[in-house]
Structures are given as C-alpha cells and as structure tokens.
C-alpha cells in the first residue's frame, strides 16, 4: 500500500499534466482562432482594396482628355478645388499609393503638376477651371470663393494625404496654398487678419494649422491658429454663446473639433493661452451636450445653442467628428464626462444598423463609418467592430460595376473610408506590389501580431509595417483623434527589433524597426496559407 504522501505526489503530478494538456489546447485554440480572424480580415481588406482600385479606374475614364483632370461630377465638365480636388482626386492618389505604384508616381503626379499650372490664380491659390473653354470659369477672381475652395482642398484632401505619405509633392502643394491663403487673408478682426468669417473654413484652418504647426515647427502657423482661437473663444463669436445656428454635421461641425485641436496644441505650446481657453472650450462642449443631441448620444444636424431649439432633427452622419473633440479635451483635462459620453454613443451604435445616413447616400455612410473607426481605435468593443463591418458592406453595395459609386465628388469619400477600413483589417500592413489575388490580414493580441497571407499565384514583394505617424510624420505631442486621419493600429517602435515567425516550419527572422517600415522581402508560393507571428524581441 502506497504511503499517503506518495499518493498525493502522484495525484498532483497527474493533475499538473492534465492541466498543462488542457492549457495547451486552450492556447492552441486561441492561436487557431486568431489566425482564422486574420484570414477573415485578409478577405475583407482585399475586397476593400479592389473596390478602391476600381473606383480609381472608373474616375480616370471620366478625366478631361485635354488636361487629364477629373471633373466635379459626371455632368459638370469643370474642375474645382472644393470638390474635384478636395474630395475625389486625393483619394485616387491615396488608393494608387497602395495598389499601383506606377500610377501613383506617374499619372497621379502628372495631374497635380497640371492642376498647379492651370488652376493657380492668385499666387498659389486655385480657382475653378472649365474644360470646354480651357479657361477659368469667371472673368475675375473672387477671393472669398477661392479661399473657400483652397481651405477645402487642404483640409479634406491634402492634409489626410500628408498624414499617410509624409513629405511629398502633395505636401508641398498644401503648404504653398496655406501660406498664400494667409498672405491674402481678407477679414479684419481685433485679433488680426483671418482668412474668413465662415465657420467651416475657420474650423478647417484650426485643424490644419494645429497639425502643421507641429509638423513644420513654423511659429506663424500657431500664431494664425491663435488668432482664430481668440476670435471664437475670447471674442464675440463663441460657437454656443453667440451663434444662433450651430451646425453639428459637416460644413459646420469643423469649428468644434478645430477649436479642440487648437486647445490640445496650446496645452503644450502655450500654457497661458490654454488657461484662457479652458472655460470657453468647456462651455461650448457642455452646451452642445445639453441641447445638441438625442437621448442616445447622436447629434442633431443643427441647433440654436442660445435658445436650445433644434433647427434640424436629422441625425448628423459626422457624429464622430464632434466626439473627436470631446475625446481630445478628455485627453488634456481628464474630464470624465466627456469620455463617458463618447463611450455612451458607441454603446448605442447598433440601433443605427443600416440607417439611412443623409438619405442613404454613400457619403453619409462613409462619414459615419469613419466616425466609428476613429473612436473604435481608441475605445474598442466587439459591438462597434460588428457595426463597422455591417455598414461597410452596405456602403460597398452602392458601387456600380464601372467602379463609380454615385457619380459625384463624394465618391472619393467612399475610397477614403474604405482605405481606413482596410488598414484596420491589416493592422496597418501593406504589400508592395499589390495584386488582387494576394490577401493579407492581421489581428493583434497583446504585443503579438497574427498575420495571414495567401496568394493564388507566386508573389514576390515586400510587406510594409506602419509606424507611429502622429509622432514620426506629424510630430504631434499626443495622438488626439482627428477628422480624416488614418488611425494607427500595430506600429513599430523606433530602435526596437521584431521577430517574424513562420508557423508552418517555425522558422524565424529578426528585423529592425527601419526594415519593417521599409518593407521586408517575402516570397509566397501559390495557394499556400502563410501564418506568421510577429513579436517584439
């Protein structure tokens, strides 16, 4: 008969072996499910890139034969800055940077060169160009109209491009336009000359100047931004204390997030100015919460913030653009209510499944999906992820076989939001050269990245990984959420090294962060499912 102590030892040994076996199964199952999720993400990202590429091809067919520029829509045969340049062309550029390098470096760059040559009217400021006459559409330039178009071109198009591409010819075009906008600023105020008295333009300028001040280090950009901040927060144009109409959808909501971006900037660059702005910023945000939204947290299209009257009860498709501002101020002041309200609207998002944003327009879906993606990046939840998936399918279904979506400049927003969606599904990974039959997707679990790659045909190329662009490109002090930026998912850290393991044969190679960003060479055999695990060494 075994002693009691020996029996206990045997029992514990068996228990530990069984526990290890069970734990191994759990880990294996977890790994299996992660790779399955990565494979699904690969298929979704692949569809997105194909659709974006098809959008580019469709719009290139509509280009003016003489200039190569794209028209405002399928009916108006002219180019303009606020539509053709701001909303459509930049996302043809962005898409081709992923899907067709020769097109990106060739025709897309040629279009920029042509645009600069033909449309620059007041110094570098662009004006509307008619394809039939091959001349400007008006005999004399209208500075207010030109500044509006210039502002739209910068904030809606060139700035998002720069946040992904960094220094480029499109960055150069943006800075040249911005400098001349302020050179010709026509509006006198007690705080100095500003470019406009239009809240949309000034909101766009606040966003642009706040970001480019950090990127360029140019003090005049902060000076211009503070002029606008003083005009709205310290003068008699406060968005909720003085304005009788505050639009909380696009073409108005930009002033809210723009002032919040400036608030973030002066918190680091001008602490004394931050103290001046703190009360009026919180007054604005608190009043919007009081009178500007529905019970579920969604914003109305427009309100009178003074009386509290709702001027347009339609739900704003750009709801997340405004909540970007709340989250930004939360990052600065740790105002718990602003975080809680942002979480609340995300918690209620499922009730807006297949909702008819802007009358069920593709542009309405794009803005709402983008709203969710930007906030999901900071506040992830399964319900929000499921909603983004379902609504992206609805938006994609609007694309015609030609690649055109609805045949107007808003089609570009389809591509912009689709690229954002794809980068989420790949965790910021891109492949070069891109090919329709090559599918790559990824999921992150703690510090590990699980990658799935499969190709129908042999593929030799490079796998590029993302970097913390808010720091390396934009040089921002913190990564506050920004309208039309491309959120960061898995990013490689400077100075770190990474090990990429092929799970099929357990082979592993280690790379530097610079190698990861430049792209690591990879050869894919046809119809082979590659499962790769990336870890920080």
85, 140, 413 from 115: Cα distances, Å:
9, 19, 20
Residue 74 lies in a domain: yes
Q: Would 224 be classed as within a structural domain?
A: no
**H helices present in 379-433, as ranges:** 382-396, 411-426
Check: CB of residue 451 under 8 Å from CB of residue 534.
yes
Residue 431: C-alpha distances to residues 57, 82, 344, 345, 461 (Å): 20, 32, 37, 35, 7
What is the model's pTM? 0.93
pLDDT along the chain (537 residues), means of 10: 38 35 38 96 98 98 98 96 98 98 98 98 98 98 98 98 98 98 98 98 98 98 98 98 97 97 98 98 98 98 98 98 98 98 98 96 98 98 98 98 98 98 98 98 96 98 98 98 97 96 93 98 96 95
Rounded CA-CA distance 318/375 in Å is 12
> Are residues 312 and 304 in contact, defined by beta-carbon separation less than 8 angstroms?
no
Whether residue 15 is contained in a domain is answered as no
Q: Is 510 helix (H, G, I), strand (E, B) or coil?
A: strand
Specify the pLDDT at position 225: 98
- Residue 310 maps to a domain: no
Phi-psi region of 446 (alpha: psi -120 to 50; beta: other; left: phi over 0): left
Number of compact structural domains in the chain: 1
Structure confidence at residue 166 (pLDDT)? 98
Indicate the SS3 state at residue 144. helix
- Whether 77 maps to a domain, the answer reads yes
288 membership: H or E segment, kind and range: helix 271-291
Does residue 121 form part of some domain?
yes
- Whether residue 98 is contained in a domain is answered as yes
Greatest Cα-to-Cα distance within the chain, rounded to the nearest angstrom: 110
In a domain, 508, yes or no: no
CA distances from 304 to 242, 247, 287, 297 (A): 10, 9, 11, 18
Report d(CA 490, CA 513) in Å as an integer: 12
What is the SS3 assignment for 522?
strand
Cβ–Cβ under 8 Å, residues 369 and 363: no
User: Which residue range forms the structural domain that includes residue 158?
Assistant: 64-184
- Which DSSP symbol is given to 499? E
* pLDDT for position 26: 31
> Would you state the pLDDT for residue 537?
84
């Amino acid at each position: 008969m075994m002693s009691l102590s020996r029996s206990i030892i045997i029992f514990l040994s068996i228990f530990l072996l069984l526990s290890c076996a069970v734990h191994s199964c759990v880990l294996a199952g977890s790994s299996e499910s992660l790779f399955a999720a990565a494979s699904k993400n690969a298929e979704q990202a692949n569809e997105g890139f194909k659709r974006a590429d098809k959008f580019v091809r469709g719009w290139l067919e509509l280009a003016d034969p003489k200039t190569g520029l794209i028209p405002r829509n399928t009916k108006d045969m002219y180019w303009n800055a606020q539509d053709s340049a701001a909303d459509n062309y930049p996302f043809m550029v962005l898409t081709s940077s992923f899907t067709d390098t020769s097109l990106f470096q060739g025709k897309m760059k040629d279009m920029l060169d042509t645009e600069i040559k033909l449309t620059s009217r007041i110094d570098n400021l662009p004006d509307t160009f008619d394809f039939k006459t091959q001349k400007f559409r008006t005999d004399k330039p209208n500075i207010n109209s030109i500044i509006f178009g210039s502002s739209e071109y910068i904030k809606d198009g060139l700035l998002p491009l720069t946040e992904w591409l960094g220094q480029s010819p499109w960055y150069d075009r943006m800075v040249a336009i911005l400098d001349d906008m302020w050179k010709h600023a026509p509006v006198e105020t007690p705080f100095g000359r500003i470019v406009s008295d239009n809240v949309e333009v000034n909101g766009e300028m606040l966003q642009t100047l706040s970001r480019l001040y950090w990127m360029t280090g140019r003090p005049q950009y902060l000076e211009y931004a503070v002029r606008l901040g003083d005009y709205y927060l310290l003068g008699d144009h406060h968005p909720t204390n003085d304005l009788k109409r505050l639009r909380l959808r696009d073409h108005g909501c930009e002033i809210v997030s723009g002032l919040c971006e400036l608030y973030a900037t002066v918190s680091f660059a001008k602490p004394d100015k931050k103290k001046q702005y703190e009360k009026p910023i919180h007054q604005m945000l608190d009043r919007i919460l009081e009178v500007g939204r529905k019970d579920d947290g969604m914003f109305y299209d427009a309100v009178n913030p003074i009386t509290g009257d709702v001027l347009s009860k339609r739900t704003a498709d750009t709801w997340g653009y405004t909540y970007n501002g709340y989250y930004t101020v939360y990052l600065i002041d740790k105002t718990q209510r602003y975080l809680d309200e942002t979480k609340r609207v995300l918690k209620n998002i499922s009730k807006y499944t297949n909702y008819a944003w802007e009358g069920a327009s593709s542009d309405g879906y794009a803005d709402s999906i983008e709203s969710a993606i930007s906030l999901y990046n900071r506040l992830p939840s399964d319900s929000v992820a499921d909603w983004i998936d379902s609504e992206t399918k609805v938006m994609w279904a609007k694309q015609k076989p030609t690649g055109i979506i609805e045949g107007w400049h808003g089609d570009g927003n389809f591509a912009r939001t689709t690229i954002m969606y794809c980068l989420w599904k790949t965790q910021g990974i891109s492949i070069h050269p891109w090919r329709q039959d090559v599918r790559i997707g990824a999921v992150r679990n703690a510090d590990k990245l699980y990658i799935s790659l499969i190709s129908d045909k042999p593929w030799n190329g490079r796998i590029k990984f993302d970097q913390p662009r808010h720091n390396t490109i934009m040089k921002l002090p913190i990564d506050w959420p920004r309208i039309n930026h491309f959120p960061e998912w898995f990013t490689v850290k400077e100075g770190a090294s990474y090990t990429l393991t092929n799970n099929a044969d357990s082979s592993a190679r280690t790379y530097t962060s610079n190698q990861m960003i430049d792209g690591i060479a990879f050869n894919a055999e046809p119809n082979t499912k590659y499962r790769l695990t990336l870890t920080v060494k």
